[in-house]
Structure 1
């Protein structure tokens, strides 16, 4: 099951028995389905933008994240029957209750909605003159609402109810959309051609409807949410941030090592007399530098994943390493060019081969020249590695969004993550400066 656990009460994370677990109505429904099918349920967390792609590329058998089976989505994936229809609502600030009493009052206003969702498309097509602002996370949208960047937030009714129960500054009202229930409820998404599996899942959904289990699961989710909001201090969620720091450092450290190795090889290839090696290095560097890291992460995880099923963490490390290698290559190339040509001539006159000259004479001097730039790349890598959260790697940014979803606190988790990043980069900068000073005094 692929899901984005930042959408209470459908799916969210909670500390249970000292461990972080994904819970919610969708999770309980999927457990029931897995039991009926006689299979083990494995939950893969990732950003909402990626859950359908995970199904299309075989990373998951089922995507379940409060997904509406719209016609456009049906072109890419198969859907089960609707298992729950909570309806559509709008979140507003409580101070605006008198101002926005119904959907008609939102005409020509700024409406927030999660990018790529039914709520986004509805606001665009059915609210006259509305300016729709899309974001990837509902937690970001709620923060935008509370800071008056948007006037209202389009969201499913159960989630809206969850927010107003846990945040006294928010209010809600139901939409007046006239919608086809077969398109607006929540359904499970499966890979195209999964007819047999869809039929088996639909049998479980029929039982869930007949026994009204969805309401029971929704009530259970509410109990978990009360556990989360009982103590919303950042110290209470310290294990989340510590886990995020652990994964951020692992990704950064490994990516730095492989990035430097790859960058050195690419830089030497650019200096090679072989036109083929030179062309390969130039093409690689230009291509990587010309495409966003986020796209590279998605390609390694989903694109390469079609051939080799790589875990999310490994995919993130590979993508960040490959990206870093291209930038390090240019830094090293600049350092080599900064070494006086006379050094090469002097080493040749001493009988050194070109390889030995590069190893013992040129590169050591180049390293002194490029150390500050190389240090900047290391620092940038720690911050840029946060992009791996989109494929479900539990780095610091991923944990930040989970804490925001669980506690309904928009700003404080961001502030904590910002301080943590500063501490990490400050310490690293001091270490790099120490070694830079030693290099300057070395003979």
Structure 2
């Protein structure tokens, strides 16, 4: 990645950046389990998968400041573009009968056929040009931002087995507005509200589904947010209300392939309230906490079949409370802790009453900083224990899968400055 900027005038700066990323991996994979019985019995299939991803992105623009009468302006004009390529090759092995999720049967990995070099299956190109102006007046007590962006997204899919001929293309463009307002009625209080739209590439269906490789069309996301920030001195608090709309995906069983098929069906509307508090409550003791109340429901589904039903993988409550203590008995030693709570989640959009239970975890840690006698630079040693009580739980129900939690985990690291 390369970035550069140059001051053309005292109040005008030009900038540009370009970056390239490529990575690949090769895995023999036991697929996610398909539940086959009410007793928790399940089957899995095996795959050998080779994947490669390549991303090229660039942007350039101009920032400028100006004053017109009582109003100060901060202007930004930006042009950006990117190309994302997804390469894949895949071979399937036999299905494995694994017992039940409560009493699983461990079997050796079967031998699989090498799928060969990964071939291109999806390529996404995007382009945007936008301009924004942040206007400040009344000694910066009022700030208003207005922006407009033109976006274009082109998606091409290729034959999943051969990676040569195009199988489908999507082209979409949109003008996306953005507005934001900040008002400071008092020095320590800020009220804000914003609205933003954005054109997003559609999801690519993973290899675990019957319609693997299908790319859903691009969509326009919409986000509303309003809130208040208060500086109480030692502690700062924020309270925000938000709404975000995104495509809704349903998974249905395909008897012909013995797999599930992913398909778009309406929207998922997320409405919530978020409260955060952070700061140094007394000397040497710092607090960082937050709680989110979320209502995620399906809307605009076919024939209204699932309208108003809970959306998959969205807990109604999520709370995090963390803190740090600079110990008085040993200079440089800081102890930390964090408690995380997540309420239950719906597993499947088509059966919203089927849920995974809530879970709570505790993490503890310590870090010790001291000056190195060799370099006279600080050295920091960290030791953390995640999931202290070795809680076993389902992490989330997003994308139709149920990943298991990590067990109790110990981490030790050291950071040096030169």
TM-score (norm 1): 0.19
Higher RCO (CA 8 Å, separation ≥ 6 residues)? 1
Relative to its length, the structure with more strand (as a share) is: 2
TM-score (norm 2): 0.20
